[in-house]
Amino acid sequence: MKIAIAQVNPKVGDIPGNSRLIEDFARAAQALGADLAVFPELALTGYPPLDLLEKKNFIDENLKALKALAALKLPVALAVGYVDRNPAKKGKPLHNSIALLRGGRIAAVRHKSLLPTYDIFDEARYFEPAAENKPIKFGGAVIGLTVCEDIWAGTALLPSRLLYRNNPAGTLCAARASIVINISASPFYRGKSALRHRLLSGLAKKMRAHIIYANQAGANDELIFDGNSFALSPSGKLTAMAKAFGEDLVLVDTEAPGSPGRPAAGQYGSGSGGETAEICAALTLGIKDYFRKLGFGKAVLGLSGGIDSAVVAALAAAALGPENVTGVLMPSEYTSGQSSEDALRLARNLGIKTRTIPIKDIYGAFLGGLGAGGAESGVSLTMQNLQARSRGSLLMALSNANGWLTLATGNKSEIAVGYCTLYGDTAGALAPIADLFKTEVYRLAAYLNRGGEVIPPAIIARPPTAELKPGQRDQDDLPPYETLDEILRLYLEENRTPSEIVGRGFGRELVLSILRRLEASEYKRKQLPIALKVTEKSFGYGRKMPIVKALNFIK
């Protein structure tokens, strides 16, 4: 059987547009001679639709579009993800479903059994799980139709303590399915694509079945979908591979494994750059799709001469085109000439536009209105924050005046411990590197310079500083970033206790002070622009932490 994997990039809520996209890819699959074209999870609605699922007309439109696709009577059959209604009087009103469209009709429907409710997932809020999943006969083969999580039960992809009561893949194996199709909208995080392949390769061997894995590409809000769809033979061998971070259409012939399918060389971060290359591609796509799907084309950001704004500017230029990015230099009396020189050199390297707007008069007006300042008072925290907020106000004003979107440039290390100013350097529509620790930002800068200077060496070499008072350095207020980032990583991503982190060789008082600072800064993070997610545990929708809480659990 010739199966086309249609790795598409739907837009949430754009059912007419998504339907046209599916039809276009279906016709392209037909031209390749495919018997069946497989599309990702909820391809008709886009993923995740969230509370759009509570709107009756939204569900109606998606069902109408599914019937219209079936009515096309294409020679190629389609397996399409959509939202179905639950006919039962009990349970949630909807199903997360896959339909087999063939011969002008909806030939078969299967519903998702396993509904994730961890990290960014909240599917049990909307959907009723299927009680069973039986295979169907198609093209002389016994085929299983599964949706995303249904294929991961009992594997290492799920949280260690997450055990489901049933295993749809195991059921299909017992029913002797020879081909298992899995449609997914599986968000990216570093290393995940390699893990998917390894686990499903083992499952293909165990089931002695072909596995067709169709994943969504593109980005919606904070989530990035890497694509990386693939097909596996019953021996676990990769027989077809779609590209990463983009739409694609690949064909696999289950009777002649590997024949037309694209080989997998260089996939899963195994090529030049490894996980850093993956993260760079993911963030570039995240910026591009956020702007494109919202209908914006131009970005503005502050250029401080520091590493964070340099990396964000480089990513924005790659995502949107350098002609669509404006970097704004906003020097104060504490800004060194070196910082401005480095920022301008970066802009020349990238080919982006720049504007210079000194903040001295704006900052002075703030101080005058407050009756603050004066040589005897020094540069207080209030005065430092007023500088950051002066810059944030300017960027948002430029955004308003020109129809641009502002990019915030903070990193995960600073955001974790609250080393940022609300309504200042946190102002913006999107925070591209807010899920990268500072040390990871430096690695990304090195990767961006792999083919020659993009980010000036002086920016990489200089000690980080906010330049909000004379002689300021980040590490006057923070431990070295190598230390800070490892403590934060152990706590956030590995969920280690303070005692376990101390056991890794860090001072107890240092660990406790960092973690208390992290938990006390939750109110800031709740007000930040959305952060593109590239790790398993980001500061976003997937981390549900109260703002008002005692901190006595950190001890």
H or E, element range at 327: strand 325-329
CA–CA distance, 19 with 1 (Å, rounded to integer) = 25
Q: What element of type H or E holds 182? A: strand 179-184
Q: List, in sequence order, every residue forming a beta bridge with 230; answer none if it has no partner.
A: 213, 241
User: What backbone torsions phi and psi does residue 198 show, to the nearest 5 degrees?
Assistant: -65, -45
397 close to 370: Cβ distance less than 8 angstroms: no
Per residue in 235-274, is it b (16+ CB within 10 Å) or e — as a string? ebebbbbbbbbebbbbbbbbeebeebbbebeebbbeeebe
What one-character-per-residue DSSP string does 515-551 give? Answer: HHHHHHTHHHHTTSPEE---SSS-SSTT----SS---
* Nearest Cα residue to 96 out of 138, 163, 37, 146: 146
Residue linked to tokens 């920022």:
343
Find, among 346, 330, 471, the residue nearest to 388 by Cα. 330
Catalytic-role residue among 41, 278, 414, 467: 41
Which residue, among 145, 112, 137, has the nearest Cα to 211 in the 3D structure?
Answer: 145
149 is catalytic: no
Look up 41 and say whether it is catalytic. Answer: yes
For the chain, the first-to-last Cα distance in angstroms comes to 60
Q: Which of 148, 173, 280, 420 is catalytic?
A: 148
406 with 397: CB under 8 angstroms?
A: no
Among 2, 112, 293, 438, the active-site one is 112
User: Catalytic residue positions?
Assistant: 41, 112, 148
